[in-house]
Structure 1
Amino acid sequence: MKKWIAWLCSLLLLLPLAACGNGNGQGEKPLKNVRLAEVTHSIFYAPQYVALAKGFFKEEGLDVELTTTWGGDKTMTTLLSGGADIALVGSETSIYVYAQGTDDPVINFAQLTQTDGTFLVSRKKIDHFTWEMLKGSTFLGQRKGGMPQMVGEFVLKQHGIDPHNDLHLIQNVDFANIANAFASGTGDFVQLFEPTASIFEQEGKGYIVASFGTESGRVPYTSYMAKQSYIKANKDVIEKFTRAIYKAQQWVASHSASDIAKAIQPYFKDTDLALIEKVVDRYKSQGTYATDPILDEEEWNHLQTIMDEAGELPKRIDLETLVDSSFAKQAMNE
């Protein structure tokens, strides 16, 4: 949380310089450029790549320019400073920004994933895993203040484990280096995203024993958001963007993991097709991919409960303050 406060305070000083964004996009047939910043590049976001690969954005008259900004703080900085029109990032970031005070809050308008995307990986193969086995172990967790870490601690507590007293919790390793740290011998257990978790299994470096997504329940893990001022000035863009995402969500829901893997492979050229299919199947089977873009109140409240238990919730914020589901509902009604 301190990290978020530091960069937000410095960023707010710069915002007046970047207040002016895109035009109103009232052109007729030429594609409207939309700059999209994603927090990371992952099979976890398969419906987004389906929307790109299947031309759903272009069908709506949008030319989506995708950039990976690597991290919640960097993604939000890019959005707030005018470097992106829309961001795909954890909904908790909109809460952090709002809590610091702003007259142009970031609004969540479409949800993409509805569960955590990490898995618990053990260094040793365990035939009959129980969460009790983590007690006394060294657990290599995710960065403090991020959703993976908060969900990880929430799940441990749900299973009667105090993450700060019942095990040795390591949280000072950068996200990009967590997998390498585990591979080099750090930790008995590690919290990993796909496809790294499955790659470790293939190479005998670790074994998936549990899913944090399954254990933590539905939560708005990653959503599309934009500044309130951008949404007001570009309602047509948000409508079209949300419609394209909904088409992709429905396509993913109605197609096999094999079909989805083939569709998104161009966005993961260095990943084996069979591995992409395996990861998609794992996420699809546990309901990770939202089937519609609506972020509902139950999910929003659950998110804040997870943040609160992790000691990272600045204050409770009503759904209506930072979530606008009108575009999602319109897309579904059409």
Structure 2
Amino acid sequence: MRSIGRLVGAATVVASLVISTAVPTAAMAKQVKISQAFQSMLYLPFYVALDKGFFKQQGLDVDKETAGSPTTALSAVLSGSAAFSIHGPEWTAIANSKGADVAIICNVVNGAAVWVAATPDFKYDTLQDLKGQKVVAGLMPTTSTSLFMKLLKDNGMKPDSDVDLLQVQIGSEPGPFLGGQAKLAVLYEPGLDQVVAKGMKVVIGFPKAYGPYAFSSITARKNVDPKDAQAVVNAMELALRFMKNNPDETVAIAQKEFPTLDPKIVEAAVRRMMAENVYPSSVQTTQQAFETAMQTQIALGNLKQAPKYEDFVVQDYVKPALALK
């Protein structure tokens, strides 16, 4: 009986040890906040990392915050209320130029994800065909309208006189365009595929025109906890690999993230962005992609000069992430 008692006691101890080591794994995960500018289809790699548990695999419990604007998301990092933010790297560069000790640590969107759509009857051969036309575009400041204005300037046209820009709230561009207020519209996804589904045609695609373009990145303070930063970049790298190898499941995750949109529109938008290399192949932000994005901002007057690639695009976390097996 004493032997049985000892066995029962030993079993109880072993069971309690198993429970005590198994349960705390989630509890041991460090909570970090990532502030995104918007709930955007552009940030799909981030949502994939959340959905597939890649952050938790790396020991993080991520609290996703939607700030409502790039500046508000970045302000969360500057104030310390969030460890990381997701938005265009130009906002980080502007803050850096004013003395903020911030940099980008991870690629999220690597293509200029903006398109110009036209009505089926609009004849488009060259950019000069846009002269005198009304064009629906997002309310400035926004990258879509900025890129469109730069395109006009680069081709000898004046945005304030050669076209009639109808600026509306970002995301609402399809409404006035489909309502017949203009024959052209500058659009992000899923707005582009919403109007394509209604018979509109794509006449200009910025992803193909620009090639690699640092469009959205993860920002952090330079004194961020390096373990947290490494875990974030690792998770994002795993998400990008997953997207490449599992396009159908990636579409399903996007449909879950945007339940109020037509699933067919979501699928068309995601597949278009994957086909046009809007989503990066890795977390690496190349010097070419960085310089293209910064030169655009300099041309628009948002930046006087670009920060040095070597100082501003942190490689410390990228190289280990690329080496993951």
Q: Same fold (TM over 0.5)?
A: yes
1:142 aligns with 2:138: yes
**Which of 309, 327, 333 does residue 317 from structure 2 map onto?**
327
Q: Which aligned pairs between 1:1-40 and structure 2 lie closer than 5 A?
A: 30-40=28-38
**What is the distance in 2 between the residues matched to 1:72 and 1:95?**
12
1:275 aligns with 2:265: yes
Aligned-pair distance for 1:227?
A: 1.5
| Deviation by residue 1:194-218 (Cα, 9 ceiling, x = unmatched) | 11221123235x4332222222332
Quick check: 2:117–2:192 contact (8 Å CA) kept in 1? yes
Counterpart residue number, 1:91 = 89
Large movers: runs of 4+ above 6 Å? none
Quick check: 1:60–1:240 contact (8 Å CA) kept in 2? yes
Quick check: 1:116–1:213 contact (8 Å CA) kept in 2? yes
Count of aligned pairs between the two proteins: 300
1:223 aligns with 2:217: yes
**Which of 157, 162, 165 does residue 161 from structure 1 map onto?**
157
Q: Report the secondary structure of 1:320's partner residue.
A: helix
Aligned-pair distance for 1:159?
A: 4.3
Q: Which aligned pairs between 1:1-334 and structure 2 lie closer than 5 A?
A: 30-102=28-100, 105-126=101-122, 129-171=125-167, 173-204=168-199, 206-229=200-223, 231=224, 234-256=225-247, 258-334=248-324
Which ranges in structure 1 are unaligned for 5 or more consecutive residues?
Answer: 1-26
Q: Flag the 1:125–1:284 CA change in 2: closer, same or farther, 3 A.
A: farther
Q: Report the secondary structure of 1:312's partner residue.
A: coil
Which ranges in structure 2 are unaligned for 5 or more consecutive residues?
Answer: 1-24
Q: Which amino acid aligns with 1:198?
A: D
Quick check: 1:29–1:61 contact (8 Å CA) kept in 2? no
Q: Flag the 1:162–1:240 CA change in 2: closer, same or farther, 3 A.
A: same
> Share of identical aligned residues, percent?
22
Aligned-pair distance for 1:255?
A: 2.5
**What is the distance in 1 between the residues matched to 2:52 and 2:125?**
40
Q: Which amino acid aligns with 1:324?
A: V
**What is the distance in 2 between the residues matched to 1:77 and 1:260?**
30
Q: Report the secondary structure of 1:63's partner residue.
A: strand
Quick check: 2:122–2:183 contact (8 Å CA) kept in 1? no
Q: Report the secondary structure of 1:161's partner residue.
A: coil
**What is the distance in 2 between the residues matched to 1:30 and 1:40?**
29
Q: Which amino acid aligns with 1:197?
A: L
Q: Report the secondary structure of 1:326's partner residue.
A: coil
Task: State the TM-score, normalized to the length of structure 2.
Answer: 0.84
Quick check: 1:155–1:212 contact (8 Å CA) kept in 2? no
State which structure, 1 or 2, has the greater radius of gyration over its C-alpha atoms: 2
Q: Report the secondary structure of 1:175's partner residue.
A: coil
Counterpart residue number, 1:6 = none
